[in-house]
Amino acid sequence: MTLSSLASLRVAITVFPGSNCDRDMMVAVEQLTNRRPALVWHKEASLDPVDLVIVPGGFSFGDYLRCGALAGRSPVMNAVMDHAARGGAVLGVCNGFQVLTETGMLPGVLIRNAGLRFSCRMVRLETAKTMSSPFTQGLTAGQSLDIPVAHNEGNYFADDDTLDRLQDNGQIAFRYIASDAEGPANPNGAARDIAGILSNNGRVMGMMPHPERAISPLHGSSDGYTLLSKSLEALMS
Q: Which of 42, 151, 210, 219 is catalytic?
A: 210
pLDDT, tens digit (0-9, with 9 covering 90-100), for 149-196: 999 999 999 999 999 999 999 999 999 999 887 788 999 999 999 999
Q: Could you give the strand order of the β-sheet that contains 204-207, starting from the edge strand earlier in sequence?
A: 38-41, 11-15, 52-55, 89-93, 204-207, 194-198, 172-177, 119-127, 144-151
| Catalytic residue check, 151 | no
- pLDDT of res. 7: 87
Whether this model's pTM surpasses 0.85: yes
Q: Which of 67, 151, 153, 212 is catalytic?
A: 212
Q: Which of 94, 151, 153, 219 is catalytic?
A: 94
**Contact predicate 232/86, CB 8 Å:** no
| Catalytic residue check, 21 | no
| Catalytic residue check, 94 | yes
pLDDT bracket for residue 2 (50, 70, 90): low
Q: What percent of the chain has pLDDT over 90?
A: 90
**Contact predicate 56/22, CB 8 Å:** yes
CATH annotation of 3-236? 3.40.50.880
Domain spans in the chain, listed from the N-terminal domain onward: 3-236
pLDDT, tens digit (0-9, with 9 covering 90-100), for 116-158: 999 999 999 999 999 999 999 999 999 999 999 999 999 999 9
